[in-house]
Amino acid sequence: MSAHGAPQPITARKGGPLRGTADVPGDKSISHRALILGAMAVGESRITGLLEGQDVLDTGRAMRALGAEVVGHGAGSWSVHGVGVGGFREPDSVIDCGNSGTGVRLIMGAVATHPFATTFTGDTSLCSRPMGRVTDPLALFGAQAVGRSKGRLPLTLVGASDPVPVRYATPVPSAQVKSAVLLAGLNAPAETVVIEREATRDHSERMLAGFGARIATEDTPEGRVITLTGQPELRPQDITVPRDPSSAAFPVCAALIVEGSDVLVPNIGLNPTRAGLFETLREMGADLTYENPREEGGEPVADLRARFSPDMKGVPVPPGRAASMIDEYPILAVVAACAEGVTDMPGVAELRVKESDRIDAMAQGLCAAGIDVDEGADWWKVTGRGPNGVPGGATVAARLDHRIAMSFLCLGMASQQPITVDDAGPIATSFPIFQPLMERLGADFGGRDS
């Protein structure tokens, strides 16, 4: 089992305003997909702006174990020499995906239609997450999962030697499940079809089309129907990874709640399947503007400007928006704590099976910091105490979850008393430069006691 070493506690306390420009790293979802599809193309793909977080590095290592050549050239520039669809070889040892649900689920899909066995594991967080949601549809292709009784890692996936195409309606709103099925469908004959009731992030579909696969998306009364024609020859690509809106969320939200702040976060991907948080913040009354809106590499992009917003009000967040902001609920809860009134977040059962049970992790930490939270199986409500109203003065558990750690450090920047996160180590999975970037803006992590 992997681990990131000794716990690294960090304390955030109220300092001056946050000011300046925040250059956040590349998009994690797109980075995983660039490495995996690069490994399945014939020839060399070049990637710039790749997120060099631990999750993505673990996926790069897995692609090497499956036979692709993956080389880092520094500063986010990488090349991947792919082996072609159907060209992966049996790995010599266990694939350890660390903390990454996206990594393990997408790679399971990619190997499921190859005639060999792959054993997967991860850290204690990943080993507690459900894998049946992926191994069930992969079984329809003819792959067999052997492992722990509850469908958790470690498990071995024996790939189908004679795969059949699949038509699958996803029972949960999950881009990871959708992508696993599509990646498996690449090495199956004829058409693989995925139907999703709620649209989830569509980076796999966009990138598969970019690599030359035949893929069509149609919105029907049944939901969104995605049809992929199997066994294409994928052509290598030059990919520029846009910056991650889920990472941008942290400096943006910190600026909204820290008095006097004014922060510019340039070049942020605003794909509608990812931008739900920013819409919600604007509904709350956030001073958040999109500057210089444009298109880059087929994705809408803008520079975000966030200023301290003392008049924010709690809002009901429509459940239909959940998929487009699923990773942003923890930091939204922090903003909600600093707004007036109740922020109601229904339809979010998926939050309970992320890197941690994010409703429980946030509820416990917020309560310790003096904020009221009500919760049920698939909903929660945060009652805000207004700007400068959060007592703080708590030590909270990050639970091996990068977004929980970053969310509470942002809260500590705005609360009356400091907030200590027991272990900031997991932040390296998605946003390795979080601490220096926030410090350059003016954050005070001076209470660091590691």
Catalytic residues: 327
Q: End-to-end distance of the chain based on CA atoms, in angstroms? A: 24
What residues from 369 to 408 belong to the interface with ligand S3P (CB under 6 A)?
none
Q: How far is residue 347's CA from residue 414's CA, in Å, rounded to a whole number?
A: 28
> Is residue 174 involved in binding ligand S3P (CB under 6 A)?
yes
Q: Which is nearer to ligand S3P, 51 or 419 (CB)?
A: 51
Taking every pair of Cα atoms in the chain, the longest distance, rounded to a whole number of angstroms, is 62
Q: Where are the alpha helices (DSSP H) in 77-236?
A: 101-111, 132-141, 175-186, 203-210
Site string for ligand S3P, 3-42 (x = CB under 6 A): --------------------------x-------------
In the complex with ligand S3P, which residue's Cβ is closer, 179 or 343? 179
Stretch that binds ligand S3P, among 5-13, 72-80, 170-178, 233-241 (CB under 6 A): 170-178
Of 179 and 280, which CB lies nearer to ligand S3P in the complex structure? 179
Cβ closest to ligand S3P, residue 262 vs residue 357: 357
Pick the closer one to ligand S3P by CB: 141 or 329.
Answer: 329
Q: How far is the CB of 43 from ligand S3P (least distance, A)?
A: 25
Binding-site member from 8, 59, 125, 179 for ligand S3P (CB under 6 A): 179
Query: CB 22 → ligand S3P: shortest distance, Å?
Result: 20
Selected binder of ligand S3P within 350, 357, 372, 444 (CB under 6 A): 350
The one among 50, 326, 345, 437 contacting ligand S3P by CB under 6 A: 326
**Cα separation of 194 and 172, whole Å?**
12
CB of 206 to ligand S3P, least distance (A): 12
Asked if 176 interacts with ligand S3P (CB under 6 A), we say yes
d(CA 82, CA 67): 8
Report the alpha-carbon distance of residue 116 to residue 92 in Å, rounded: 11
Stretch of 9-17, 169-177, 234-242, 383-391 lying at the interface with ligand S3P (CB under 6 A): 169-177
Q: Which residues are annotated as a binding site?
A: 28-29, 33, 101, 129, 174, 176, 327, 354, 358, 403
With CA atoms as reference, report the closest residue to 421 among 343, 368, 359: 368
Of 125, 144, 132, 211, which is closest to residue 176 (Cα–Cα)? Answer: 132
Only one of the segments 61-69, 172-180, 382-390, 437-445 lies at the binding site for ligand S3P (rule: CB under 6 A); that segment is: 172-180
**324: contact with ligand S3P by CB under 6 A:** no
**19-21 and 262-269 as β-strands: parallel, antiparallel, unpaired?**
parallel
Give the H/E segment covering residue 239: strand 238-240
Closer to ligand S3P by CB, 176 or 415: give it: 176
Cα 305 to Cα 102: distance, rounded to the nearest angstrom:
29
Nearest to 132 by CA among 118, 145, 141: 145
Q: How far is the CB of 253 from ligand S3P (least distance, A)?
A: 17
Cis amide prior to 154 (ω within 30 degrees): yes
| Helix 203-210 × helix 175-186 angle, to 10° | 30
The closest of 447, 410, 444 to 427, measured between CA atoms, is: 410
Going by DSSP bridges, is the β-strand pair 223-229/215-220 parallel, antiparallel, or unpaired? antiparallel
Q: Least distance from C-beta 222 to ligand S3P, angstroms?
A: 20
Q: Which tokens belong to 66?
A: 């499956």
- Asked if 175 is part of the footprint of ligand S3P (rule: CB under 6 A), the reply reads yes
Segment 102 to 141, residues that bind ligand S3P, using CB under 6 A: 102
Query: Is residue 201 a contact residue for ligand S3P (CB under 6 A)?
Result: yes
Q: Judge contact between 13 and 446, C-beta under 8 A.
A: yes
Q: What is the DSSP letter of 324?
A: G
Residues that bind ligand S3P (CB under 6 A): 29, 102, 174-176, 179, 201, 326-327, 350
